[in-house]
Structure 1
Amino acid sequence: MSISVDGFIAGPNETIDNGLGDGGQRLHDWVLPRDADGRFLESGPTGVDAEMMAAYQSVGASVAGPGTVDPAGGWGGDAYEGPPVFIYARRQPGRGEPRWSKFTYVDSIEEAIGSAREAAGDADVRVQGAGTGQAAIDAGLIDEVQLHVMPVLLREGRRLFDLGPGAPLDLELVEVRQGAALHVRYRVRR
Structure 2
Amino acid sequence: MSRVRVESFTLSLDGFGAGPDQDLQNPLGVGGGALHGWLMPTQTVQQKLFGQPSGETGIDDDFAARGFRNVGAWILGRNMFGPVRGPWPDESWRGWWGEKPVYQVPVFVLTHHARAPLVMEGGTTFYFVTEGPEVALARAREAAQGQDVRVGGGVQVIQQYLRLRLIDEMHIAISPVLLGRGERLFEGLDLPALGYACTQHQTSARATHIVLSKQ
- TM-score bracket, shorter-length normalisation: 0.7 to 0.9
Using the TM superposition, give the Cα deviation of residue 163 of structure 1 relative to its aligned residue in structure 2, in angstroms: 4.0
CA offsets 1:34-55 (integer angstroms, 9 cap, x no match) = 9xxxxx9x74343111111111
Deviation, structure 1 residue 139: 2.3
The RMSD of aligned alpha carbons is 2.8
Partner residue, 2:27: 19
Q: Map residues 138-149 of structure 1 onto 2, 5 A cutoff.
A: 138-149=163-174
Q: CA deviation at 1:170?
A: 3.2
Match of 2:148 in 1: 124
Establish whether residue 161 from structure 1 lines up as the match of residue 186 from structure 2: yes
Distance in 2 between residues matched to 1:164 and 1:187, nearest whole Å: 15
Distance 1:52 1:164 in 2: 25
In the alignment, what sits opposite 1:66?
78
Give the one of 96, 99, 107 matched to 2:118.
99
Separation (CA, whole Å) in 2 of partners of 1:175 and 1:122? 25
Mapped contact 2:163–2:194 kept (Cα < 8 A): no
- Aligned twin of 1:85: 107
Residues 16-68 of structure 1, C-alpha deviation per residue, up to 9 Å, x if partnerless?
A: 3311122111111111139xxxxx9x743431111111112212211011101
Instruction: Report the counterpart of residue 63 of structure 2 in structure 1.
Output: 52
Residue 138 of structure 1, CA deviation: 2.1
TM-score (norm 2): 0.73
Shift of 1:171: 1.7
Change (3 A) 1:44 1:22: farther
CA distance in structure 2 between the partners assigned to 1:2 and 1:45 by the alignment: 18
Q: Give the secondary structure class of the aligned counterpart of 1:127.
A: strand
Taking the aligned partners of 2:163 and 2:13, their CA distance within structure 1 comes to 23
Quote the residue 1:37 is aligned against: none
Q: Is 2:203 the counterpart of 1:182? A: no
Stretches of structure 2 lacking an aligned partner (at least 5 in a row): 1-8, 43-49, 84-92
Q: State the distance in 1 between where 2:33 and 2:82 align.
A: 16
Q: Cα distance, 1:103 vs. partner? A: 0.4
Q: What is the TM-score of this pair, normalised by structure 1?
A: 0.82
Structure 1, unmatched stretches of 5+, are 35-39
- Distance between the aligned counterparts of 1:70 and 1:136, measured in 2? 20
Q: Aligned pair count?
A: 180
Q: How far, CA to CA, are the matches of 1:119 and 1:135 in structure 2?
A: 21
